[in-house]
Amino acid sequence: MAEANVAVDSALAVAKVWQNIGVIAGATLSIGITALATGYTQGKIGQAGCGAIAEKPEVAGTVFILVAIPETMVVLGFVIGAMILFFVK
């Protein structure tokens, strides 16, 4: 009977390790993917914005705002990652 308890405890420990690995991987991916997507988007907006500013300097303020808007996606990815780390047990 004791051997069965040891086997069950060992299996539960292994399952807990894999669960922790999954939680960390999920949090990492939620931040990493949003950061990559934001960087790509900001690059495209910045490139188009530079062209727009070169032709029409008065749109500079609008371009700066448009470049900053995708950054909220990274903040939301960070919030989701924090929720995964702190609330998944």
Which pTM does this prediction carry?
0.78
**pLDDT tens-digit series, residues 48-89:** 999 999 999 999 999 999 999 999 999 999 999 999 999 987
Cα angle 59, 35, 22; round to 5: 160
Residue 14 within a domain:
no
Question: What pLDDT is attached to residue 8?
Answer: 84
Considering the domain boundaries, does residue 25 fall inside one?
Answer: no
88 within domain boundaries: yes
Dihedral of the alpha carbons of 75, 80, 85, 86, in degrees to the nearest 10: 100
The answer to whether residue 37 is domain-embedded is yes
Query: What span, in angstroms and rounded, lies between the C-alpha atoms of 87 and 78?
Result: 14
Q: Read off the DSSP letter of residue 69.
A: T
For 17-35, the pLDDT digits (tens) are 999 999 999 999 999 999 9
Query: Residue 22 domain-assigned?
Result: no
Is the residue at 35 inside a domain? yes
Q: Residue 43 belongs to what domain range?
A: 31-89
12 part of a folded domain: no
Give the number of domains in the chain.
1
Residue 9: predicted pLDDT: 85
CB 42 within 8 A of CB 64: no
